[in-house]
């Protein structure tokens, strides 16, 4: 006869959400499973004070489910602050699908995922992220209206990647304005780490401005394609963080700014598209400040994508998308100035503005 009593030691092992370091008062975590399609997904809804939680779906071959949970918690939290600081009436959410997008993604799996999204009745609205395409969002749209980033031919705003890259470019130029006195990036050495759709679009903007661009990626074929297309240099070394550069642009996965890499970094500026670049927000933000490396907060400068998909909800056109994305430049300058005046890190400066907007809205709702 077995006992149903679980010891405190065992309990800590099975505490799936509240015990996670990345849990930050998330409102709702949904675990999705479907045997027939092989779907294993997690939807994280962090905060809906400003509006429904909007954030993309990432399909990634995680090492384990704990890693996937940690990712969705960190990503959904970041989306809350991204929408808040950009002035959008949206909350923060994100979804991850566990699996290899190249071999395990099927239309049936995407439709089943869409059914789970639909079951949340609009509290979460999904969109495209790593491992996803506009066509995948079109498939999800077959079973739920709570999806953005669908094809322009179907009335959507299309692929958000070019707009995301443009916003990063605007943030990078604002950082250059502060660091160098000019926002012209001509002859600045920029290392772009990760050349997916966003990274490639960023490379194009940089090359058009005359920057000296070096690229790195785990996909050698992509490296050769982008190098050939834009005439940029492929990084052939073994430790990109030790290389002399003016600007480091992380555009792959997050947490590349950590205890190990910060000590090596020689860059003046960090400005990239990756989410959650600081492995530890408080600690690594301070370390960058002490090294006089100017960090453009990722959740601010990579907001072009959510601006693009938000257009589908608010029915505004390309001109307004571009205007809102270009305004990332001004907001970035404000964040830097706030950090200087208050003697805080740029990340703290950005977070404080985002959190204040949420607090103000919550107070208004309670009146």
Q: What is the 3-state secondary structure (H, E, C) of 236-281?
A: CCCCHHHCCCCEEEECCCCCCECHHHHCCCCCCEECCCCCCCECCH
Residue with tokens 């939807």: 43
Residues 6 or more apart in contact with residue 208 via CB below 8 angstroms:
none
Task: Give CA–CA dist 148/2, Å, rounded.
Answer: 49
CA-nearest of 87, 79, 70 to 320 is 87
Query: How far does the chain reach from its first CA to its final CA, in angstroms?
Result: 56
Task: Give CA–CA dist 8/339, Å, rounded.
Answer: 43
Q: Show the tokens assigned to 122.
A: 């609009």
CA dihedral 214, 216, 219, 220 (to 10 degrees): 50
Residues 325-348, buried b or exposed e (16+ Cβ, 10 A)?
bebbbebbbbbbebbeeeebbbbb
Do residues 96 and 59 make contact, with C-beta atoms less than 8 angstroms apart?
yes
- Catalytic site residue from 94, 173, 188, 324: 94
Can 291 be counted among the known catalytic residues?
no
Strand arrangement, sheet containing 212-216? 233-234, 212-216, 189-193, 247-250, 269-270, 294-295
Per-residue DSSP letter, 367 = -
Cα 342 to Cα 1, 293, 313, 336, 354, distances in angstroms = 63, 17, 36, 10, 16
Which sequence positions are flagged as catalytic? 94
């Amino acid at each position: 006869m077995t006992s149903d009593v679980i010891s405190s030691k065992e309990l800590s092992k099975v505490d799936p959400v509240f015990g996670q370091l990345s849990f930050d008062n998330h409102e709702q975590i949904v675990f999705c499973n479907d045997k027939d399609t092989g779907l294993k997904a997690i939807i994280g809804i962090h905060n809906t004070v400003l509006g429904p939680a909007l954030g993309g779906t990432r399909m990634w071959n995680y090492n384990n489910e704990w890693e996937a949970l940690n990712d969705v918690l960190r990503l959904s939290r970041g989306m809350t602050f991204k929408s808040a600081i950009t002035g959008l009436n949206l909350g923060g959410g994100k979804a991850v699908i566990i699996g290899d997008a190249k071999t395990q993604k099927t239309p049936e799996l995407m439709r089943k995922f869409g059914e789970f999204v639909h079951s949340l009745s609009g509290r979460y609205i999904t969109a495209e992220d790593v491992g996803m395409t506009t066509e995948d969002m079109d498939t999800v749209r077959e079973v739920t209206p709570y999806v953005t980033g669908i094809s322009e031919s179907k009335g959507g705003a299309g692929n958000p990647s070019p707009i995301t890259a443009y916003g990063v470019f605007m943030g990078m130029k604002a950082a250059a304005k502060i660091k160098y006195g000019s926002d012209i990036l001509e002859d600045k050495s920029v290392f772009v780490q990760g050349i997916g759709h966003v990274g490639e679009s960023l490379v194009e903007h940089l090359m058009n401005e005359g920057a000296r661009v070096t690229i790195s990626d785990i996909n050698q074929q992509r490296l050769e394609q982008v190098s050939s297309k834009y005439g940029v240099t492929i990084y052939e070394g073994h430790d990109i963080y030790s290389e002399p550069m003016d600007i480091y642009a992380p555009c792959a996965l997050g947490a590349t700014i950590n205890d190990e890499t910060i000590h090596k970094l020689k860059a003046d500026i960090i400005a990239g598209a990756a989410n959650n670049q600081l492995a530890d927000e408080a600690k690594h933000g301070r370390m960058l400040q002490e090294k006089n490396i100017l960090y453009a907060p990722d959740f601010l400068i990579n907001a072009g994508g959510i601006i693009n998909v938000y257009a589908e909800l608010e029915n505004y056109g390309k001109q307004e998308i571009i205007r809102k994305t270009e305004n990332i430049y001004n907001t970035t300058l404000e964040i830097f100035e706030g950090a200087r005046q208050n003697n805080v890190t740029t990340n703290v400066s950005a977070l404080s503005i985002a959190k204040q907007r949420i607090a103000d809205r919550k107070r208004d709702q309670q009146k």
